[in-house]
Amino acid sequence: MRIFRSLGTYVALFVGAAGVLLALYAWRLPPFASSVERTNDAYVRGQVTTIAPQLAGIVAEVAVQDYESVAEGQLIARIDDRIFAQRVAQARASLAGQKAALANSQQQRRSSVAKIAANEAAVKSAESAFETAAANLARIQPLARQGYVPGSDLDVATRQNNQASAALDQAKAQLEVSRQDLQTVIVNRQTLEAAVDNAEAAVNLAEIDLANTRILAPKAGHLGEVGVKLGQYVQAGTQLTSLVPDVAWVVANFKETQLAGMQVGQPVRFLVDAFGGLEMTGHIERFAPATGSEFSVLRPDNATGNFTKVAQRVPVRIRIDPGQPHMADLAPGLSVVVLVDTASAPDAAAVAAR
């Protein structure tokens, strides 16, 4: 009886010690403390781009299929471009008309300059005629007062002088009119030049719209599900498909209590669930400027009600080391388990390459 009692005591002590050791291991307390921090709140990320048209129209061609690999600039879909091609032709015709009007303005300017020259010559001729009539009147007036010439000659000379003066005034007025006409042509030319610039901009816009009927891959990568169908009417911004470029990284959400000792450039190991726990390597590239809760739509307000402290998580971006097997198979959204040895020294090359 005493033996069984002793055996039960030993079992109880063993169970108690095992429980204590298990708790110490779970909380990573001595003697199980480790410099390796681990999290399974980590995922592969990538630049997933939504492909959408900038124009509305009927889809005339779908050149790709689901999950297809595409090169930069490869055609994904094409919108019926007949209307947009006619708009380009219309804009070019309008531009040609504005350029013709501008050329006509140049011709009008040359004509106005020629008229000014002709009117300046007419003014000189009128001035000469007026000087002749005035001189003739000046000779006849004293002779008429002395009775050497009849009064009719004085009247004729006076009328000729008045006519020459009026002709001179008319010539000067015509010269001023021609100068104002030239100024009008110059001012109108500025308006026509602006109209030509506007027509050229309209041509450029029409050509951009025509080019946008071809929806192209902005960069190389793999497509998601292609949701557009031949003959479908799409609006500007309608999602046609998604493009996933061949560039991936890992975002690990560590608790704030795990960040002590982590530095940019430290080596990282991560296990990819989709590859049966295949181990891959990388380096810490940067830390998020705030915890995940600060970026959430509904931020918590700890100033109200009862408060329970909850360890926050900080996203850590990890650059995947190149040249590893299955790199091309890493798809955004895959789950991974990340391990960081906070006692390891940062890689200087990784720090410089971030």
95-138 pLDDT, tens digit each: 999 888 888 777 777 776 777 787 778 778 777 777 787 777 67
pLDDT at 272 over 60: yes
pLDDT score at 16:
79
pLDDT at 4 over 60: no
User: How many domains, in total, are found in the chain?
Assistant: 4
Same domain membership, residue 103 and residue 28: no
Structure tokens, 288: 């998020």
Q: Which residue has the tokens 């010690």?
A: 17
At 286, which CATH number? Answer: 2.40.30.170
Same domain membership, residue 71 and residue 219: yes
pLDDT tens string 288-328: 999 888 888 777 777 777 888 888 899 999 999 998 988 88
pLDDT score at 1:
47
pLDDT score at 350:
63
Same domain membership, residue 128 and residue 102: yes
Same domain membership, residue 272 and residue 124: no
CA pair distance 37, 39, nearest whole angstrom: 7
pLDDT tens string 164-194: 778 777 877 887 777 777 677 677 778 888 8
Same domain membership, residue 275 and residue 331: yes
Same domain membership, residue 148 and residue 170: yes
pLDDT at 82 over 50: yes
Structural domain of 14: 1-33
**If DSSP states are collapsed to H, E and C, what string results for the chain?**
CHHHHHHHHHHHHHHHHHHHHHHHHHCCCCCCCCCEEEEEEEEEEECCEEECCCCCEEEEEECCCCCCEECCCCEEEEECCHHHHHHHHHHHHHHHHHHHHHHHHHHHHHHHHHHHHHHHHHHHHHHHHHHHHHHHHHHHHHHHHHCCCCHHHHHHHHHHHHHHHHHHHHHHHHHHHHHHHHHHHHHHHHHHHHHHHHHHHHHHHHHHHHHCCEEECCCCEEECCCCCCCCCEECCCCCCEEEEECCEEEEEEEEHHHCCCCCCCCEEEEEEHHHCCEEEEEEEEEECCCCHHHHCCCCCCCCCCCCCCCCCEEEEEEEECCCCCCHHHCCCCCEEEEEEECCCCCCHHHHHHC
Same domain membership, residue 1 and residue 108: no
% of residues, the chain, pLDDT over 70: 87
pLDDT score at 161:
74
Same domain membership, residue 272 and residue 235: no
Same domain membership, residue 204 and residue 98: yes
Q: Are strands 241-245 and 233-234 parallel, antiparallel or unpaired?
A: unpaired
The answer to whether 333 and 249 are in contact (CB under 8 A) is no
Structure tokens, 188: 């109108």
pLDDT category at 67 given cuts 50, 70, 90 is: very high
At 218, which CATH number? Answer: 2.40.50.100
pLDDT tens string 130-139: 778 777 767 7
At 158, which CATH number? Answer: 1.10.287
% of residues, the chain, pLDDT over 90: 46
Same domain membership, residue 63 and residue 29: no
Per the confidence metrics, is the pTM higher than 0.95? no
Same domain membership, residue 159 and residue 135: yes
pLDDT at 87 over 90: yes
pLDDT tens string 208-220: 999 999 999 999 9
Same domain membership, residue 156 and residue 61: no
Helix 151-211 crosses helix 82-146 at what angle (to 10 degrees)?
170
pLDDT tens string 231-262: 999 999 999 999 998 889 999 999 999 999 89
